[in-house]
Chains A and B, each alone.
Chain A
Amino acid sequence: MVDTYKPMDVFDSMTECTFILKPTTQQSQQQKQQPQKKSRAKSAAGRRSSMAAGREDNADHDISANGGFVPLLQGKEPVESMELRRRLFADMWTPLEHLLSETEKRVNNEGVTEVCDFVSASYTRVETTEKGQLASPFAEIATAVVFSGVNTGDHSNLFQSLQDQLYENSHYVVMLESQYCTSLPNMLKSMLEQVAAGLGIGTGGGSKGRAGGGTGVGFKGIPYDMSLLRIWWDEATPRKGSRIVVILQDFEGFGPLVVDDFIRIAANYCQDVPIVVVFGLATSYECVHQSLTKASISMLNVERFNLQRSKQCIDTVIRSVFVESASVLSFGAEAYKSLLDQFLLYSFSITGFVKKLKFAIMDFFYAQPLSVLSAMVSRLDQDGNCATFSIRECPIRLCQEQIELIRMQRSVQRFFDKKVEMDGDDGRKYTVKALVDDDFLQDSVLPEMLRHLVSYRQSYSLGISMVQAIQDTMPEAQHKPLRTLHYYGISQLFDEGTHWKTLSAAIRRMKVPEMEQLLTRFDSILNSSDSLDLQYVETSGTDIKSLLQQARELVANPDQTLKDEGYGEGKTLADAPSKRIRTRTDMDNRPFLLFDNSSTDQELRALDICCGYIESILRACLSPYQNVPLYEVFYYRHSFLLDTTFSAQPRAAVQTALGKSQYYIDCDCCNGSSAVGDDDRDDEADERIMPSMNDTSIAYRLHQECGRMINLYDWYSAFSSVVEQESTFMPKAPSQSEIQARFLRASEEMRFLGFIKSTQRKTDHVVRLTWGH
């Protein structure tokens, strides 16, 4: 619904960052805040996840230069590498942003066109086949009720495209917003001004045109009177077939009485002036019935349109961005879940989705020193169309640190291990060379690893398409949307997921003609993507194309092929003679065979083998991304960062600030025993109440030790005994009255924050509103 992301909220979530807020008028790719690590980062290094090495920086660097990009790797990153990251970010985000907005527009467009057609067709006599027609006794206003989904944040885009299309069809559009229509006069004023601007009417008689704007000037001294509308309409000799479309974008926000009166007035004019009303409804049609009276509802001739398409839109976005890899950066399972949960569980907001995506991409290019590698993989061309993958040479030489970082990645180590395992001595030589020779690593090993990645991405996309093809043969109830399929695809092994099992069961239930159809579809999927490079997927022992070919032959000619192949491979056809259900396992796995009498044994056998082939194809295609070398770089993992940035937890932040203030302040004075700086400070040290702490923090910690009722005097005594120790580091101890004043302020703040409240039940006591310690 409403987007949660406000720049202010991110402050409480990041511990070791400073923030620089730049004026937003700068170039669009420059960003609002730049994470930069404080020089004291070391003491807190354990708390932040993984990328710590990447975020460090020499403190005196001018960070506002270079669009906020700073040399990573303790400042050892060469400038050209940093410049490259900066360029790459722009190269990647600009077309992607274009792609996203285009997708949204395209998805909305269909519904918008329907509404436009309705508007154009309104007030024309509909020829019906029915005889004995009577005219309705009511002068009905043509009304389109548009269900636009509960996420009001995205509506402006939708209604903007509706408005644009209505203009194109030469209608006059009046957009009314509830905040400017709190009363009937305001509403009519707003409407008449926009109509006048549209019809080009001003008191001066000159045409002002649509963009003219300042129509209010010409209206001095004239009340906003609807009867003017009729006069204008007659005078202006408008284009033929055009209507005045009044759009109430957020119907829920309007006062019911205002809309009611408006409709009653408009109904008086709709016979002379073709007024079409569009209600944008976020909830349900019931809302119209709740807010309008019977009298005015009978004046509406309603047509309903469902324009709620944010889920469709998200599916399309996920297909193009993640499955077809429009962006080189993909999301790991955790981060993807965080991205999707925000959408499905909380908001249905596409804007929010796009913001999170952008944040992740920013984080990638700003903080990941290996993000330069994405220069070697290109996918999108400048217009945002998906081009084919290609591996290019990296435009810069990687520095020593970057190379080391690559070698340090677990997946790269696994890649080398596998090489050794498979190629024996050659592999060993290769590995040694790669580990020692930097140039060799960059020039031959890196491209190979990236080809691996590209190949995986292609086969993954293929696998998802195949899964969808199988899904199409299944009943509607078992279909899963693409966003869920993708989540399964990256989070579950093929053999483990329940949905994958359902799919297997579905193909095992197929008969020959169905199987043939499915295989033909697979074939066309395989052929539709050009320049497939499946070499690296196929190293795992499955050659997708030939498997498919075999399956097709099998199904086309079960008897013949089976004879050649079944015996040839040593598969024991012999022990499967004419009996269909032999064992209990058969019974459990394929009970439908009991009822299937239409297929011959050979066919059944062939189908069985086919199913095995399809399963192994899918298993190969949907293998986990963790097998791909350098996945740590190209699969975004910082779901924690996304969560803390976009779903702020104000309550938890306040509690941490008061109870564990050193987490935020990170000062030496309050750490007590941890002055030594070791990371394994125990809880006891955490809980020691130091006089150097903030007063409210002291009061908070003290109150945690109390029961439900807090005796104010006891609390005060404890407070003062802590505060009095200030004399250890201050020139003189605070006076009694000062302590009293400070205590009052601290307890007031506690009350304000909602930790305590006053009570009448016991004198000089307050009630604690939180539990536990």
Chain B
Amino acid sequence: MSTADVSTQLSEKFPGRGEQVDQLLSLLGEPTDASPGCIFVYGPSASGKTSVLQSLFSHYQAGKTRVAFVSGVECFTARLLFERTLNAWAGHVPSKDNAYSNYRKCDSLVDFVARASELLGGGEEETHYLVVDQAERLRGTSVLTSLVRLSELLGSQANVSVILVSAVVWDKFRVRHGGATDPTLVFFPRYTKAQTLDILAHDCPPGEPSGFFLTFVDALYEVFHRNSTSVQELRHLVAMLYPKFVQPVFEGQATRSEFSRLFKLCQPYFSAASERLYLREISTSEWQRVAPASAKNRAEDVAQAIYELADGSGSGIMDLPYYTKFLLVAGYLASYNPSRLDMQYFARGKDPSAKGRKRKRQADDALGGQKRQQLLGPKAFAIERLLAIFYSIVAEAMDSSVDVQVQIASLVTLRLFTRTSNGDRLDGVKCKCNVGLETIRAISRSVQFEVDRFLYDFA
């Protein structure tokens, strides 16, 4: 297939990416041309980098094994990366017959260069490509530096080009001490609104009028583009919300021309769900179980059902043993209250709203101090302080038994407390409380403890 054909085909498939496709094609040139040693493809996530490259190569060199696609996340050692590359170039597939071994064992860069020149040195003219996805994972390793200059290392023996794909700009890759050449940069910009709509037009389900669909997508884009411009996220939302939106049409409640009425019917789904769907507090399958939109459902019921879906089903407060709840609350108080005020708050027989506190209050504005702990995050506290607060807030007198210590240990394993002192220090252990205010409020409500009375400088 000629370069021009590939270009037109890809531009059609990937709206808004024509320029980049042309740029890449011009860099690759004819299969036998010597191409740049390293091409760096970058741009924000979900801007089509990987998909464009994948389909480009499948058209450009259809049926030939001159491209190796590897992922920076998956190839966590140099060996994995090298061996996969060689496998792809050699067209080798590990299987039962070859005892699942790779083409060659290849532990280091030296090995790799030797094996590669052995493999490619047979007079072949055509360029071999190595595409590394999520290349930012290779930062700081020697592999990256050598990949950038791989074609130099192989020299005249083989015609090799490396394409790095990343969401991070090249400046962050540059080695501090120089010595590395800069690769050729290809930038994939964020999609514009028109391009986004073009892409989503491909998603239009069969049988649906595309004009109607696009109006819906347009409206959704307007609502949503401030939060995220990722095309993938938008597609996800469209896939989740469109069936709810169009349902009244099938039920005969509204016609396709009554756009604002449809929106009104779909309103609860939009307002209650978009955020939760985006954050995946409601997953795809859970969402599909919610009853479809129709004029029969009352809006409040729908909103209620959605809230329950996100917050119910066990994800609310965790059920802790009685004293463990108090331990957690005590940990929160120790993390957020200054220790100098402990006497005021926890000494027995004294009201927490004693005068020391009032005087302090006046200095702060209505929202509390600028540097209040609430904004700074939890402080580390010593276990002794935690225990002192714990014994003072627990309603009934109790002996200090080993059970309490065990509970502290298990709170650390559950990551509700994080240990800040070293693991090898047995005494003077320090922890931080890793739980938010809302959870603590819910927990203290369940044991009838007014946590707000004991919190200093909270708003």
A interface residue numbers (CB < 8 A to B) = 1-2, 4, 9, 126, 128-138, 140, 142-143, 147, 149-150, 152, 184-185, 201, 203-205, 221-223, 225-228, 231, 235, 250, 252-253, 261, 264-265, 268, 282-287, 289, 294-295, 297-298, 300-306, 308, 342-348, 643, 647-652, 754
Given contacts A150-B320, A298-B233, contact A2 B409 (CB under 8 A): yes
Q: Does B319 contact A (CB under 8 A)?
A: yes
Q: Is B323 in contact with A345, judged by CB distance below 8 angstroms?
A: yes
CB-based contact A231/B100 at 8 Å: yes
Interface membership of chain B positions 375-413, coded 1 if the CB is closer than 8 angstroms to chain A and 0 otherwise: 000000000000000000000000111111011011001
Q: Is B422 an interface residue (CB 8 A)?
A: no
Nearest Cβ in chain A — how far from B185, in angstroms? Answer: 24
Q: A222-B101, A647-B401 are contacts. A306–B415 as well, Cβ < 8 Å?
A: no
Of B401, B409, B415, most buried by chain A (CB within 10 Å of CB) is B401
Shortest CB–CB separation between residue A143 and chain B, in angstroms? 8
User: Do B99 and A1 touch across chains, with their CB atoms under 8 A apart?
Assistant: no
Known: A231-B94, A652-B399. A302 touches B238 (CB 8 A): no
Chain B residues, CB < 8 A from A149: 319
9-residue interface stretch from B2-10, B111-119, B284-292, B358-366: B284-292
Q: Contact partner of B99 among A137, A203, A286, A287, CB < 8 A?
A: A203
The 10 closest A-B pairs by CB, nearest first: A285-B315, A1-B410, A134-B239, A306-B314, A302-B283, A647-B401, A137-B235, A130-B243, A132-B246, A203-B99
A selection of 13 A-B contacts at a CB cut-off of 8 Å is A1-B321, A2-B413, A133-B205, A150-B410, A227-B84, A284-B314, A285-B314, A295-B45, A298-B232, A298-B236, A344-B322, A347-B407, A652-B400
Interface residues of B (CB under 8 A from A): 45, 71, 73-74, 76-77, 79-80, 83-84, 93-96, 99-102, 105, 203, 205, 208, 232-233, 235-236, 238-240, 242-247, 250, 279-281, 283-286, 288, 292, 313-324, 399-404, 406-407, 409-410, 413-416, 427, 436, 439
Contact call A284/B239, Cβ cutoff below 8 A: no
B407: which A residues are within 8 A, CB to CB?
1, 346-347
Q: How far is the CA of A93 from the CA of B415 in the complex (A)?
A: 38
Q: Evaluate contact between B283 and A300: CB separation under 8 angstroms.
A: yes
Contacts of B283 in A (CB 8 A): 143, 300-303
Chain A contacts of B436 at CB under 8 A?
A: 286
Query: Complex formed: what's the CA distance from A649 to B439 in Å?
Result: 31
Known pairs A2-B409, A130-B247, A132-B246; A150 contacts B414 (CB<8 A)? yes
Pairwise interchain contact B288-A128, C-beta atoms closer than 8 A: yes
Taking a contact as CB atoms closer than 8 A, the residue among A235, A265, A284, A651 that contacts B318 in the complex is A284
Q: Which residue of A lies closest to B240 (CB)?
A: A136
List the A side residues contacting B246 at CB < 8 Å: 131-132
| Cβ–Cβ < 8 Å partners of B280 in chain A | 297-298, 300, 302
A345 to B401, CA, bound (A): 13
Decide yes or no: A283 and B284 within 8 Å by CB, A1-B407, A130-B247 being known contacts: no
Q: How far is the CA of A485 from the CA of B83 in the complex (A)?
A: 67
Contact of B403 among A4, A147, A250, A297 (CB under 8 A): A4
In the bound assembly, the distance between CA atoms of A517 and B77 in angstroms comes to: 72
Question: Known contacts A126-B288, A285-B315: does B416 contact A136 (CB below 8 Å)?
Answer: no
List the A residue with the shortest CB-CB distance to B288.
A128
- The smallest C-beta distance from A477 to any residue of chain B, in angstroms, reads 14
- Decide if A283 touches B105 in the complex (CB within 8 Å): no
Q: Give CA–CA (A420, B403) in the complex, Å.
A: 50
Distance between A235 CB and nearest chain B CB, rounded to angstroms:
6
From B79, which residue of chain A is reached at the shortest CB distance? Answer: A223
Q: Are B319 and A205 in contact (CB under 8 A)?
A: no
For B73, list chain A residues within 8 Å (CB).
Answer: 261, 264-265
Beta-carbon nearest neighbor of A311 in chain B = B319
In the bound complex, how far is the Cα of B405 from the Cα of A347, in angstroms? Answer: 12
Given contacts A302-B283, A345-B321, A346-B404, 19 further A-B contacts (CB under 8 A): A1-B406, A1-B414, A2-B410, A126-B285, A136-B239, A137-B232, A137-B236, A150-B414, A227-B84, A268-B74, A283-B415, A294-B279, A298-B233, A298-B236, A301-B285, A302-B286, A345-B322, A346-B324, A346-B406
Given A302-B286, A652-B400, A221-B315 contact (CB < 8 Å): no
Q: Is the Cβ of B313 less than 8 Å from the Cβ of A649?
A: no
Chain A residue with Cβ nearest B101:
A222
> Closest chain B residue to A129 by CB distance?
B292
Given contacts A134-B203, A205-B96, contact A342 B76 (CB under 8 A): no
**B83 touching A223 by the CB < 8 A rule?**
yes
Most buried by A among B242, B314, B400: B314
A353 to B317, CA, bound (A): 24
- Report whether A185 and B247 are in contact in the complex, using a CB–CB cutoff of 8 Å: no
**Contact residue among B233, B235, B318, B402 (Cβ-Cβ distance under 8 Å from A647):** B402
Indicate if the CB atoms of A150 and B321 lie closer than 8 Å.
yes
Q: A295 — which chain B residues lie within 8 A by C-beta?
A: 45
Q: Is the CB of B242 within 8 A of A132?
A: yes
Complex contact B279–A289 (CB within 8 A): yes
Write the nearest CB–CB distance from A681 to chain B, whole angstroms. 24
Instruction: Determine whether the beta carbon of A150 is less than 8 Å from that of B400.
Output: no
Measured CB to CB, the closest approach of chain A to B226, in angstroms, equals: 16
Q: Which residue of A lies closest to B244 (CB)?
A: A130
Residues of chain A with a CB closer than 8 A to B240's CB: 136
- Pick the contact of A265: B74, B79, B232, B321 (CB < 8 A): B74
Cα–Cα distance between A652 and B398 once the two chains are bound (Å): 13
Distance, CA A297 to CA B277, complexed state (A):
11
| Chain A: minimal CB distance from B134 (Å) | 8
- Cβ–Cβ contact B314 & A147, under 8 A: yes
